[in-house]
């Protein structure tokens, strides 16, 4: 339906009422004035006839036709009135304005006919003789004794009245033209006076509609009518309440959004038609889809897991909370999710969808497995030397002390196992201290990478000489990086000891340092230990840096390792905000690479 502006609703009414009023007043004034004017003329003519009747009767009865004619003409001229005498047959006997001999029979004239019938006759019409509008009044008059009465008729022109009436009508027409203009001006002023606060209300409502909640609507009630001011005050109060409530809603929404986005658990909201309402960042990462692009999409195309889809269907069908473990795959890696499915309900507690909350148990399960492996490995690593020490001591106590050579041999073995226990405990304590430093960030300072490698080589030379292994260093003297030098030397020594231990006699172990540049212009320092040993199988590489993890357990123990060396290396590197990686091929050797943040370039300005 077409909507009109307030002006077009007010203007036609104002203009119509004004125009109609003017027309009615004009018509009433014109008709009343005309009736009054004609009535007064008729009364005046009737009185004149009564004044003329005695004279006309006397002259007519004496037969003084010429005197009567002169009297009629002079009187008519002086009174500006047309006087006509008509006999009983309708023949004009004399007329003050025209030659009576040329005039038609007047018996059929309305006023004459009434006068001949003995009544006063009145008529207003155009004169065919004078060719103008005339007002006629006729009364019976006795012209001859013993004969039927004739008619004395007076007529006066209404041309002056017609002129005044035309002028009045022109003024009325002019007023009818002016009134709409005045009505338009008044309508504009009235419409503006009424619409201005309405426009302010509209702008305020539009601000609220587009989310401009920072500027609450406030309508000025000055110069308003009582009703409009009351409405404006009511809207002001409503706008203020809306503003306050919207601020509370926005605050609560932001809080919920922060909680929703910051949850580590994956959360997916699904409507009753099984379409995605929204998901948080954790769920987006889990399903590898942008969170914004999945809104409104069917859950089957996003979740793609039979267990989850069945859980959604069951929750929608039974309107009850469900919980189970679901396994999904990220690529080829299985992910275990502790999934809670809760129905979404509306204000009358009807189900309108499902909320999935999925807690990733994969890391927890992995950590639990690592903990169990760690406990088992520590127990095994400690139990072996303890069992050996206990066995030899019991043998000595059972009488072996008498044999000095056997006793010394037993004591040497017990001492070696005790040293092994001491090394394990020392490594555990070292690992604990390094983990504490990882949490607190170690103190670093710029140091030479070449110096670190040379110090590590110097510490490992005796072991290398025993196996006839040659140690080589490739490092430019200018390469430097922020580091904790003693800790980093220990990490390199651990890698170098492993490389020497697993390398064949007469082999070579290379220590190499290189620098690379990141995409943002920063530097990276790479410290590599390269051996030509037996290598490590691919399936062992992901766990090689775990505590006590050994690809070849029997051989590792024979070499005297504690199983904590690589774990210590990993934590030292993490304390330096770096990474450690391994590349290995069975039968061709292994390469362990430590990557650290390098020195940033600094521009030094010299004073001129």
Residue 107 has pLDDT above 80, yes or no: yes
Pairing of strands 133-141, 322-330: unpaired
Report residue 418 as tokens. 């005790």
- pLDDT the model gives residue 221: 65
- At 346-376, the pLDDT tens digits run 777 788 889 888 888 877 777 777 677 667 6
Residue 102: its pLDDT value, please? 83
Top-confidence residue, 550 or 110: 110
Give burial (CB, 10 Å; 0-12/13-18/19+) of 400.
middle
| 551 phi/psi in degrees, rounded to 5 | -60, -40
Does the pLDDT value for residue 319 go beyond 60?
A: yes
Task: Identify the architecture of domain 442-597 in CATH.
Answer: 2-Layer Sandwich (3.30)
Top-confidence range, 111-120, 217-226, 538-547, 597-606: 111-120
- Most distant CA pair in the chain, distance: 207
In this prediction, residue 530 carries a pLDDT of: 93
Tens-digit pLDDT profile for residues 493-542 = 889 988 998 888 888 999 999 999 888 778 899 999 999 888 888 888 88
For residues 566 and 561, the model is more confident at 566
pLDDT at 608: 31
Sheet with 266-271, edge to edge strand ranges: 276-279, 266-271, 351-360, 333-345, 322-330
575 pLDDT higher than 50:
yes
pTM for the whole structure: 0.42
Whether residue 217 is predicted with pLDDT greater than 60 in this model: the reply is: no
- CATH code 3.30.450.20 region(s) in the chain: 7-164, 263-360
pLDDT in tens, 204-213: 667 666 666 5
Segment 72-82, tens digit of pLDDT = 888 888 888 88
User: Which contacts qualify for 521-525: CB closer than 8 Å, 24 or more apart?
Assistant: 521/601, 522/597, 522/598, 522/600, 523/481, 523/597, 523/598, 523/599, 523/600, 523/601, 524/595, 524/596, 524/597, 524/598, 525/449, 525/479, 525/481, 525/595, 525/596, 525/597, 525/598
Antiparallel, parallel or unpaired: β 589-597 and 523-530: antiparallel
Percent of the chain with pLDDT over 90: 8
| Token pair for 40 | 């007064």
Instruction: Work out the average pLDDT over 565-583.
Output: 88
Fold of the CATH domain 7-164 = Beta-Lactamase (3.30.450)
Please compute the mean of the pLDDT values over residues 590-602 and round it to a whole number: 81
CATH 3.30.565.10 domain residues, the chain:
442-597
What does the pLDDT average to over 217-243?
Answer: 72
For the cut 70, the answer to whether the pLDDT of residue 214 exceeds it is no
pLDDT value for 607: 37
CATH of the domain spanning 366-427: 1.10.287.130
Per-residue confidence at 605, pLDDT binned at 50, 70, 90?
A: very low
d(CA 228, CA 323): 59
Average pLDDT of the chain is: 80
Q: What percent of the chain has pLDDT over 70?
A: 85
Q: Is 469 exposed, middle or buried (0-12, 13-18, 19+ CB in 10 A)?
A: buried
- pLDDT at residue number 306: 85
Give whole-number Cα distances, 451 to 447, 484, 499, 574, in Å: 8, 12, 20, 21
Which pLDDT tens digit goes with each residue over 244-290?
887 888 888 888 778 777 777 888 888 888 888 888 888 887 777 78
Cα 181 from Cα 252, distance rounded (Å): 57
Q: What is the pLDDT of residue 285?
A: 79
Give me the helices (H) in 87-144, please.
Answer: 110-116
CA nearest 420: which of 458, 382, 450, 449? 382
Domain spanning 263-360, CATH architecture:
2-Layer Sandwich (3.30)
**Rounded-to-integer distance, Cα 529 and Cα 350, Å:** 66
pLDDT digit string, tens, across residues 167-202 = 777 877 787 778 778 877 877 777 777 777 777 767
* pLDDT of 266: 85
Q: pLDDT category, 431, cuts 50, 70, 90?
A: low
pLDDT of residue 604: 33
């Amino acid at each position: 339906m077409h909507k009109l502006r307030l002006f077009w609703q007010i203007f036609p009414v104002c203009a119509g009422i004004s125009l109609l009023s003017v027309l009615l007043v004009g018509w009433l004034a014109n008709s009343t004035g005309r009736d009054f004017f004609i009535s007064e003329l008729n009364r005046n003519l009737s009185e004149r006839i009564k004044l003329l009747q005695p004279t006309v009767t006397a002259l007519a009865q004496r037969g003084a036709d010429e005197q009567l004619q002169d009297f009629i003409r002079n009187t008519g001229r002086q009174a500006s009135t047309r006087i006509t005498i008509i006999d009983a047959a309708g023949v004009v006997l004399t007329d003050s304005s025209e030659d009576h001999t040329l005039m038609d029979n007047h018996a059929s004239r309305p006023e004459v006919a009434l006068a001949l019938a003995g009544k006063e006759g009145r008529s207003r019409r155009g004169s065919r003789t004078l060719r103008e509008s005339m007002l006629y009044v006729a009364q019976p008059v006795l012209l001859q004794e013993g004969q039927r009465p004739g008619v004395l008729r007076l007529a006066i022109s209404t041309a002056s009245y017609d002129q005044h009436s035309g002028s009045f009508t022109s003024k009325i027409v002019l007023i009818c033209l002016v009134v709409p203009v005045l009505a338009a001006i008044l309508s504009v002023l009235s419409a503006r006076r009424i619409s201005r606060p309405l426009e302010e209300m509209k702008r305020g409502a539009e601000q609220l509609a587009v989310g401009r909640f920072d500027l609450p609507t406030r309508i000025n009630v000055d110069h308003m009518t009582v009703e409009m001011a009351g409405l404006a005050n009511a809207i002001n109060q409503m706008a203020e309440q809306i503003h306050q409530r919207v601020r509370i809603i926005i605050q609560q929404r932001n809080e919920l959004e922060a909680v929703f986005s910051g949850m580590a658990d994956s959360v997916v909201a699904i409507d009753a038609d099984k379409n995605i309402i929204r998901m948080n960042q954790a769920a987006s990462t889990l399903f590898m889809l942008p969170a914004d692009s999945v809104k409104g999409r069917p859950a089957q195309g996003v979740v793609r897991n039979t267990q989850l889809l069945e859980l959604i269907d069951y929750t929608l069908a039974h309107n009850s909370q469900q919980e189970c473990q679901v396994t999904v795959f990220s690529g080829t890696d299985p992910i275990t999710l502790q999934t809670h499915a809760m129905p979404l309900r509306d204000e009358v507690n009807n189900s309108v969808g499902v909320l999935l909350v999925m807690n990733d148990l994969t890391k927890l399960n992995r950590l639990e497995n690592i903990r169990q492996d760690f406990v088992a490995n520590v127990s095994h690593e400690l139990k072996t030397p303890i069992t050996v020490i206990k066995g030899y001591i019991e043998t000595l106590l059972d009488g072996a002390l008498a044999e000095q050579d056997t006793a010394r041999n037993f004591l040497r073995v017990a001492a070696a196992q005790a040293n092994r226990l001491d090394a394990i405990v020392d490594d555990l304590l070292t690992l604990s201290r390094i983990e504490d430093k990882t949490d607190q960030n170690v103190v670093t300072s710029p140091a030479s990478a070449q110096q670190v490698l040379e110090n590590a080589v110097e510490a490992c030379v005796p072991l290398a000489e025993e196996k006839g292994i040659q140690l080589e260093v490739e490092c430019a003297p200018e390469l430097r990086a922020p580091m904790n030098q003693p800790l980093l030397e220990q990490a390199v020594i651990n890698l170098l000891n492993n490389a020497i231990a697993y390398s064949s006699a007469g082999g070579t172990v290379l220590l190499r340092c290189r620098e690379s540049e990141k995409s943002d212009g920063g530097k990276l320092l790479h410290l590599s230990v390269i051996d030509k040993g037996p290598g490590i199988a691919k399936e062992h590489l992901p766990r090689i840096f775990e505590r006590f993890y050994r690809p070849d357990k029997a051989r590792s123990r024979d070499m005297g390792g504690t199983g904590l060396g690589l774990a210590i290396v990993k934590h030292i590197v993490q304390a330096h905000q770096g990474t450690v990686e391994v590349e290995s091929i069975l039968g061709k050797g292994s390469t362990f690479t430590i990557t650290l943040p390098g020195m940033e370039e600094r521009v030094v300005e010299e004073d001129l």
